[in-house]
Chains A and B, each alone.
Chain A
């Protein structure tokens, strides 16, 4: 293994990029007025993502992905320079309202990109959704409600709803011939929504969930539950964990010897971006997600090569940087359609609504009426530490968007 790269590198690199852009802007304000009329002010993108704490990796990946996409398009949005203002969300819900308002009323951001955390997403969408602008782009948080009952014209999502990666997973489990299952996750928004969707699909296809385990978030002491699962002897286990919890769950599950007799399924976050750290324990786990590392399309290959050369491979390209990358595409398409006029909110929203993503590393997708991706969900299986695509679990899957009164 190579020595750990200092991650400061990648962050400093993008900050340096931002500084250069700002420098450009500063310079332009000294140009004679005749030019200044033609040159427009930069588009301001406010970012609210975690840069510290357990989910800092997600914030870093998303930011890198988005900036990379815009850099690839010349570093401009419809001919206007770009200025980024990033705030560390610290995964703190109490700080979310004020951070959002800082980006809106102090920084006067044209767009707000964020967050990772569902509770923060709810707080933000309450504030942003009540107004016409700015436009908010959610690059991760899967809370079904954001493109459901909380949906709003100026809220878009480039990631997924919790329902999306989980529902096909339940069906896959039934299709693999399993009759009974235990679900296990954390007792918080994403865990509950994903387990609910997986269970619904599993039972609709003839399976039966015999026990639903929801453990306190972010507890990672799984032994008691693993012993319980062993005693229940289900055909399969359906689970959602992410980050450090996912690593530990998968390793503990294998160390308890359960993997041999009770196969593990789940939304792809179980093994996404962490399968290397899980090592042999993750081999053979089948998950469903809107992305996989070895997706055979030119856009994905180009994306991965460019990402690794820009930011290294720790953490390398993953589903989060893809979501950020597509947020960048969404910005490019929207602003191109209105010639960079961020004031034309109505036209801008219409353009973003009809955006299509043919160049996305995850494969083609487009926006639904509720502003959530209509996307393929892939069946993946871990082999040698890599999530390999085994097929498409659900083609052009659209979230039911329950409660959304838009469109």
Chain B
């Protein structure tokens, strides 16, 4: 591999990592702060993609689609938190797994009922539909770079919100000691509702922003669920920084696995996860 090709593959890996982080960020938030294993994360990702397809089709603009779609999925998140998730906070992880599995079944069927079985695509905004030449015959789509920028913005926003704001302070308090936070006058149930809705919004947002390159189809959520968990676990549960590093590790490992050891491309990310967990059983940035 010459140096140019190597650098291009690094770019591919990092960019894939950004997309993975986008998908996994909501998962690690809900996981780390609320202690909820949300298997339905992928289903929310799919819902985001369908909602943005639907709204973009009406309005003719991806931006409008995203802006109008986000409130819808936030409401969906709040409703689901209120009527299902909120009963699980004191229960074993296993029941969360079971309940959110039930949610997958319902959301998948709801998707088929609302939008049907067809495959759809969402056009890129004109402004971002160009490409940048990398080599004599290879271009790089501007939209992928845009996703990377959005991802960095979200990393920064999460950092600021959790580290610097009053909401973030309450979130951290709630995560480290639920009873104590409650005793200090923090409304934990409202706080958790907000966090869960935020997690749903992040999942759906990644589905929305990824829709122009991934296309929109039934069952698309199932495909990203496992890899999101891999990213979160490698990074250490609940750590935004960990999820970011985990996403980069998996993005690069997957890209170079495909190029260097193509026969084993499918197992590379799982091998990486197993190795990381053997080395650090709590993930790279997880609290022991």
A residues within 8 Å of B by Cβ?
1, 3-8, 51-54, 56-57, 59-60, 187, 213-216, 218-221, 223-228, 230-231, 233, 243-244, 247-248, 251-252, 255-258, 260-262, 273-274, 277-279, 314-315
Complex contact A252–B213 (CB within 8 A): yes
CA distance A244 to B219 in the complex (A): 10
Residues from chain A with a CB closer than 8 A to the CB of B133 are 257
Residue B271 lies at the interface, judged by CB distance under 8 Å to chain A: no
A-B CB proximity, top 4 nearest: A7-B116, A257-B139, A216-B266, A230-B138
Complex contact B217–A244 (CB within 8 A): yes
CA distance A397 to B115 in the complex (A): 38
Chain B positions 21-44 with a Cβ under 8 Å from a chain A Cβ:
none
Taking a contact as CB atoms closer than 8 A, the residue among A187, A223, A273, A279 that contacts B119 in the complex is A273
Complex contact B123–A279 (CB within 8 A): yes
Complex contact A215–B116 (CB within 8 A): no
Residues from chain B with a CB closer than 8 A to the CB of A260 are 137
Given contacts A52-B108, A52-B218, A256-B138, whether A224 and B116 have CB atoms under 8 Å apart is: no
B215 and chain A: residue at smallest CB distance: A247
Complex contact B139–A255 (CB within 8 A): yes
Nearest chain B CB to A65's CB is how many angstroms away? 14
Complex contact B9–A243 (CB within 8 A): no
Complex contact A274–B119 (CB within 8 A): yes
A56 and chain B: residue at smallest CB distance: B117
Measured as residues with beta carbon below 8 angstroms from the partner, the interface class of chain B is 35 or more
Complex contact B116–A223 (CB within 8 A): no
CA distance A227 to B5 in the complex (A): 7
Interface centre among A51, A53, A227, A251 (most CB of B within 10 A): A227
Chain B positions 95-122 with a Cβ under 8 Å from a chain A Cβ:
108-109, 112-121
Residues from chain A with a CB closer than 8 A to the CB of B53 are 4
Residues from chain A with a CB closer than 8 A to the CB of B214 are 220, 244, 248
Given contacts A224-B255, A228-B259, whether A57 and B117 have CB atoms under 8 Å apart is: yes
Complex contact B137–A261 (CB within 8 A): yes
Residue B141 lies at the interface, judged by CB distance under 8 Å to chain A: yes
Q: Tell me the total A-B contact number using a CB cutoff of 8 A.
A: 146
B5 and chain A: residue at smallest CB distance: A231
Nearest chain A CB to B106's CB is how many angstroms away? 12
Complex contact B121–A279 (CB within 8 A): yes
Taking a contact as CB atoms closer than 8 A, the residue among B12, B115, B266 that contacts A224 in the complex is B12
Given contacts A224-B255, A226-B138, A233-B137, whether A244 and B119 have CB atoms under 8 Å apart is: yes
CA distance A358 to B135 in the complex (A): 52
Complex contact A223–B139 (CB within 8 A): no
Residues from chain B with a CB closer than 8 A to the CB of A221 are 16, 254-255
Residue B87 lies at the interface, judged by CB distance under 8 Å to chain A: no
> Could you give, for residues 72-97 of chain B, a 1 whenever the CB lies within 8 Å of some chain A CB and a 0 otherwise?
00000000000000000000000000
Residue B182 lies at the interface, judged by CB distance under 8 Å to chain A: no
> Could you give, for residues 206-226 of chain B, a 1 whenever the CB lies within 8 Å of some chain A CB and a 0 otherwise?
000000011111111011000
Interface centre among B113, B123, B219 (most CB of A within 10 A): B219
CA distance A401 to B130 in the complex (A): 47
Residues from chain A with a CB closer than 8 A to the CB of B123 are 279
CA distance A56 to B109 in the complex (A): 11
> Could you give, for residues 248-273 of chain B, a 1 whenever the CB lies within 8 Å of some chain A CB and a 0 otherwise?
00000011101100100110000000
Nearest chain A CB to B201's CB is how many angstroms away? 23
Complex contact B8–A227 (CB within 8 A): yes
CA distance A213 to B262 in the complex (A): 8
CA distance A255 to B141 in the complex (A): 6
Taking a contact as CB atoms closer than 8 A, the residue among A57, A59, A214, A262 that contacts B262 in the complex is A214
B130 and chain A: residue at smallest CB distance: A255
CA distance A337 to B113 in the complex (A): 40
CA distance A274 to B123 in the complex (A): 14
Interface centre among A5, A56, A226 (most CB of B within 10 A): A56
Residue B58 lies at the interface, judged by CB distance under 8 Å to chain A: yes
CA distance A132 to B54 in the complex (A): 49
> Could you give, for residues 133-158 of chain B, a 1 whenever the CB lies within 8 Å of some chain A CB and a 0 otherwise?
10101111101000000000000000
Complex contact A224–B113 (CB within 8 A): no
Given contacts A54-B219, A243-B217, A251-B121, whether A6 and B266 have CB atoms under 8 Å apart is: no
Nearest chain A CB to B70's CB is how many angstroms away? 20
Residues from chain A with a CB closer than 8 A to the CB of B266 are 187, 216, 219
Residues from chain A with a CB closer than 8 A to the CB of B115 are 4, 6-7
Residues from chain A with a CB closer than 8 A to the CB of B116 are 4-8, 57, 60, 314
Taking a contact as CB atoms closer than 8 A, the residue among A4, A244, A248, A256 that contacts B140 in the complex is A256
Given contacts A52-B109, A223-B16, A248-B214, whether A277 and B119 have CB atoms under 8 Å apart is: yes
Complex contact A230–B137 (CB within 8 A): yes
CA distance A226 to B115 in the complex (A): 32
Residues from chain B with a CB closer than 8 A to the CB of A228 are 5, 259
Complex contact A244–B259 (CB within 8 A): no
Complex contact B141–A54 (CB within 8 A): no
Chain B positions 162-190 with a Cβ under 8 Å from a chain A Cβ:
none
Given contacts A53-B218, A54-B219, A257-B133, whether A7 and B118 have CB atoms under 8 Å apart is: yes
Nearest chain A CB to B121's CB is how many angstroms away? 4
CA distance A56 to B116 in the complex (A): 9
Residues from chain A with a CB closer than 8 A to the CB of B222 are 53
CA distance A223 to B213 in the complex (A): 12
Complex contact A7–B121 (CB within 8 A): no
CA distance A315 to B120 in the complex (A): 10
CA distance A247 to B259 in the complex (A): 23
Residues from chain B with a CB closer than 8 A to the CB of A252 are 213
CA distance A324 to B277 in the complex (A): 49
CA distance A51 to B215 in the complex (A): 20
